[in-house]
Amino acid sequence: MRIVLMIALATTQSTFAAAPDVFAYKALAREDLRLSTIGYRLAAANTPFCTRKSRNPGWVLHDKAQYPDADMAQAAFGFRAAVAVSAVIPGGTAEALGIKAGDGLSAINGIELSKLPFAQRDLASARLEKIQTIFGDALGSSGTAEIALVTSEGQKRITLAPPAMCASRFWLDTKSGLDAGADGISVRVTEGLLAFTAHDDGQLAAIVAHEMAHNLLGHRQRVSGGGKGRGQILATEIEADRLSVWLMANAGYDTAAALRFAERYGRKTDLGIFSDGTHLRWKNRQRVMRQEIALIAQAETSSGLRAPPLLTALEIVK
Ligand SMILES: [Zn+2]
């Protein structure tokens, strides 16, 4: 039997299957960091074009209770508090302030996290979510939050004032299939797809940008609002492909990586005559994205950024 627990992280949430060992736990944390780093870069670069923004400290948090084997989690990560920093994103606020993987989070704006009431059975799913909410509320009201950390050098108090960027969360899903999804705010990518793109961060950026595009364009609301037909779903897929390469270009990724991914993924998964008609075949995806890449080359830049027409057309950019 597989034990599946939700792992909620600062910018990442994951489900974790059983049979853990220290190596598997550490590998999961590295994959989380890779996904979070790419998501952070896309969310930060495209900030002017997003209506929904949130302050992002550039760290990944995890909760000891989310691991099936607490002793193994302690051995892998050395939790100094029940909720701790799993990794810091290069170039983010947490890194700049000297916060390190392994630092335990003990208080936010004077709220002692160890005193928050939770039933034991709720710890894995509820505690980190609650802490994220407290942290988000603190940053949302004043733009800053004072945190207390338990570090290798003892207690530290740090004031965080992280930058606002496109509001997005990134979930590492430990399923092995080649699958990704968007739910309106979050981007989910399977461990299978992380492995499929292990040699090329640009291809993982293409996946994340495509799913972020669904979120930025409100596709979930549109499709769940009655437009569930195949044509409607296909239209949203084409829009996500079109916007994805603009998001990538603004974040400094090579847009050709999206073409490479479309081909590799298509050759692996295209169903040919069994296709349900909701997705373009890979050569057509490439054609759509090549048209956009040509437009990107001609677009005016402002502060090194190019405004994606799909977002400006929706008057998302004020
Ligand atoms: Zn899609």
Q: How many Å lie between the centroid of ligand 1 and the Cα of residue 207? A: 9
pLDDT digits (tens, 9 = 90+) for 47-104: 999 999 999 999 999 999 888 888 999 999 999 999 999 999 999 999 999 999 999 9
d(CA 127, CA 133): 10
d(CA 247, CA 49): 10
Q: How many Å lie between the centroid of ligand 1 and the Cα of residue 63? A: 31
Q: CA-based angle 263:260:308, to the nearest 5?
A: 110
Query: Looking at the predicted structure, is the pLDDT value of residue 304 above 90?
Result: yes
Q: How many Å lie between the centroid of ligand 1 and the Cα of residue 269? A: 14
Q: Mean of the pLDDT values across residues 203-229?
A: 87
3-class DSSP state for residue 107?
A: strand
pLDDT digits (tens, 9 = 90+) for 269-286: 876 555 666 778 899 999
Of 15-24, 230-239, 254-263, give the range with the top mean pLDDT: 254-263
pLDDT digits (tens, 9 = 90+) for 120-153: 777 777 888 899 889 989 998 899 999 999 999 9
Which pLDDT score, from 0 to 100, does residue 271 have? 65
Q: How many Å lie between the centroid of ligand 1 and the Cα of residue 292? A: 17
DSSP strand E in 67-179: where?
83-88, 104-108, 111-112, 145-151, 154-160, 164-166, 169-173
Q: In the structure, what pLDDT confidence band is assigned to residue 9 with cuts at 50, 70 and 90?
A: very low
Residue 230 tokens, joined? 């195949």
Q: How many Å lie between the centroid of ligand 1 and the Cα of residue 188? A: 11
Q: How many Å lie between the centroid of ligand 1 and the Cα of residue 219? A: 9
Residue 120 tokens, joined? 């034991």
Q: How many Å lie between the centroid of ligand 1 and the Cα of residue 233? A: 9
DSSP strand E in 70-126: where?
83-88, 104-108, 111-112
Q: How many Å lie between the centroid of ligand 1 and the Cα of residue 214? A: 7
Q: How many Å lie between the centroid of ligand 1 and the Cα of residue 266? A: 13
Q: How many Å lie between the centroid of ligand 1 and the Cα of residue 284? A: 14
CB 228 within 8 A of CB 283: no
Q: How many Å lie between the centroid of ligand 1 and the Cα of residue 34? A: 21
Q: Mean of the pLDDT values across residues 296-315?
A: 89
Contacts of 184-192 with C-beta under 8 Å, sequence gap 24+, read 184/215, 184/218, 184/220, 184/221, 185/52, 185/215, 186/13, 186/215, 187/39, 187/211, 187/212, 187/215, 189/35, 191/31
Residue 283 tokens, joined? 């050569």
pTM: 0.87
Query: Looking at the predicted structure, is the pLDDT value of residue 318 above 70?
Result: no
How far is the first Cα of the chain from the last one, in angstroms, to the nearest whole number? 51
Q: Mean of the pLDDT values across residues 237-245?
A: 97
Which pLDDT score, from 0 to 100, does residue 13 have? 44
Q: How many Å lie between the centroid of ligand 1 and the Cα of residue 238? A: 8
Q: In the structure, what pLDDT confidence band is assigned to residue 4 with cuts at 50, 70 and 90?
A: very low
Domain with CATH 2.30.42.10 in the chain: 5-165
Q: How many Å lie between the centroid of ligand 1 and the Cα of residue 77? A: 35
d(CA 278, CA 235): 8
Which pLDDT score, from 0 to 100, does residue 124 have? 74
Could you please state the CATH topology (level 3) that the domain comprising 5-165 is classified under. Pdz3 Domain (2.30.42)
